[in-house]
Amino acid sequence: AEKILEVKNLKKYFHAGRNQVVKAVDDVTFDVYKGETLGLVGESGCGKSTIGRTLIRLYEATSGSVIFKNKNVHQLKGQELRMFNREMQMIFQDPYASLNPRMTVGDIIAEGLDIHGLAKSNKERRERVVELLKTVGLGEEHIDRFPHEFSGGQRQRIGIARALAVDPDFIIADEPISALDVSIQAQVVNLMKRLQREKGLTYLFIAHDLSMVKYISDRVGVMYLGQLVELAESQELYEHSLHPYTEALLSAVPIPDPNKEKRRERIILKGDVPSPINPPSGCRFRTRCPKAMDICAEVVPAWQEVRPQHWVACHLYQEEAKTE
Ligand code: SF4
Ligand code: MG
């Protein structure tokens, strides 16, 4: 498969008061293939939203590189930057907070058309907006209404229409369904899947819930305290998870059909997630890991492909990778 995005050793640090540095994203490496959905999961504060925001240049990277369609995103200028600002779009967890309450839905959706000069006349602009409303399952009659007149699910559809207006090929969806009622979540996910098929979109789908991500993702990456700890194809990750943190997350996922999958022992992790200001030495998960060894405090486990297309950072598997 063709790579559309290559993230290498990405770091994003924030300054937090005197001499304090929050290592929100710390040395993260992964690729995204054209047309796939890569799910990114982890507890809140693990850095997954920060990755999304850094990829799309809402944040400058502290170091490392983000290569989109063979170009370094953080070095783009002029016409190439304007193109990038169309090609990569973001949809947000809370569509209400991300939609301007004083703008009509028509103007919200047309914003990208206006910025990039994509409609030659008012008539064309309106036609494009009506078309976009239809694409996300909303009627023309909504065009002059305001965000507060819509339900949460409808507002997320408006957010999706706004993102689609500029004809992107990569969409970062930051917890797009977490704030919605369970009954509405599947509708929005199904809409996203249909749009992906129809338009050949690539998704980075950020969520804190593994069961949600399983349904939509081709591959899943698991984050802990600013780092990726495991990444694999969805089925591989669910059936052959390697990292103790992934195991713990999976043990909390309700199993839909107990006959099909072997029941997992529930793993309760001790303690809390440490601060990203002073993360533990060696493996960051070691203070909570049921399998921690002496080496885990001394040496940072390398990010290695230990089975085909299955990456993990854990000393339990470093030998396997070396003997190949
Ligand atoms: Fe646990 Fe050690 Fe693996 Fe970290 S490196 S997850 S502490 S076994
Ligand atoms: Mg977040």
| Tokens read off for 72 | 């370094």
Has residue 300 been placed in a domain?
no
Q: What is the pLDDT of residue 9?
A: 98
Ligand 1 atom having least distance to the Cα of 296: 2
Is the pLDDT reported for residue 103 higher than 60? yes
Has residue 290 been placed in a domain?
no
Nearest-CA residue for ligand 1 atom 3 is 314
Nearest-CA residue for ligand 1 atom 1 is 292
Quick count: other Cβ atoms within 10 Å of Cβ 129? 25
Has residue 286 been placed in a domain?
no
> Ligand 1, residues 288, 314, 318: which to mutate, most atoms within 8 A of Cβ?
314
Ligand 1 atom having least distance to the Cα of 317: 3
Nearest-CA residue for ligand 1 atom 8 is 292
For 44, 244, 246, 274, the CA distances from 110, given in Å and listed in that order, are 32, 46, 41, 43
Backbone phi, psi, residue 164, to 5°: -75, -20
Has residue 278 been placed in a domain?
no
Has residue 312 been placed in a domain?
no
Confirm or reject: Cβ of 106 under 6 Å from ligand 1: no
Choice between 203 and 262, residue whose per-residue pLDDT is larger: 203
> Ligand 1, residues 225, 284, 285: which to mutate, most atoms within 8 A of Cβ?
285
Cβ neighbours of residue 255 under 8 Å, at least 6 residues apart? 261, 263, 264
Residue type, position 104, single letter:
T
Range 223-239 average pLDDT: 96
Mean pLDDT, the chain, rounded, equals 93
Distance CA 53, CA 50 (A): 5
Into how many domains does the chain fold?
1
Has residue 191 been placed in a domain?
yes
Distance CA 63, CA 66 (A): 10
Q: What is the pLDDT of residue 322?
A: 54
Starting at the earlier edge strand, list the strands of the sheet with 304-307.
88-91, 170-174, 202-207, 37-41, 219-224, 227-233, 310-312, 304-307
DSSP element (H, E) containing 214: helix 210-216
Is the pLDDT reported for residue 324 higher than 50? no
Confirm or reject: Cβ of 203 under 6 Å from ligand 1: no
Range 99-118 average pLDDT: 95
Is the pLDDT reported for residue 173 higher than 80? yes
Domain span at residue 218 reads: 3-273
Is the pLDDT reported for residue 310 higher than 90? yes
Kind of pairing between the strands at 304-307 and 227-233: unpaired
Q: What is the pLDDT of residue 209?
A: 82
Has residue 18 been placed in a domain?
yes
CATH at residue 85? 3.40.50.300
Instruction: Output DSSP code: residue 34.
Output: T
For 39, 72, 123, 146, 301, the CA distances from 172, given in Å and listed in that order, are 10, 17, 30, 25, 28
> Ligand 1, residues 241, 267, 315, 318: which to mutate, most atoms within 8 A of Cβ?
315
Place of tokens 């008539």: 123
Quick count: other Cβ atoms within 10 Å of Cβ 101? 10
Most distant CA pair in the chain, distance:
69
Rounded (10°) angle between helices 152-164 and 105-115: 20
Has residue 323 been placed in a domain?
no
Q: pLDDT band for 97, please (50, 70, 90 cuts).
A: confident
Distance CA 311, CA 294 (A): 22
Is the pLDDT reported for residue 264 higher than 80? no
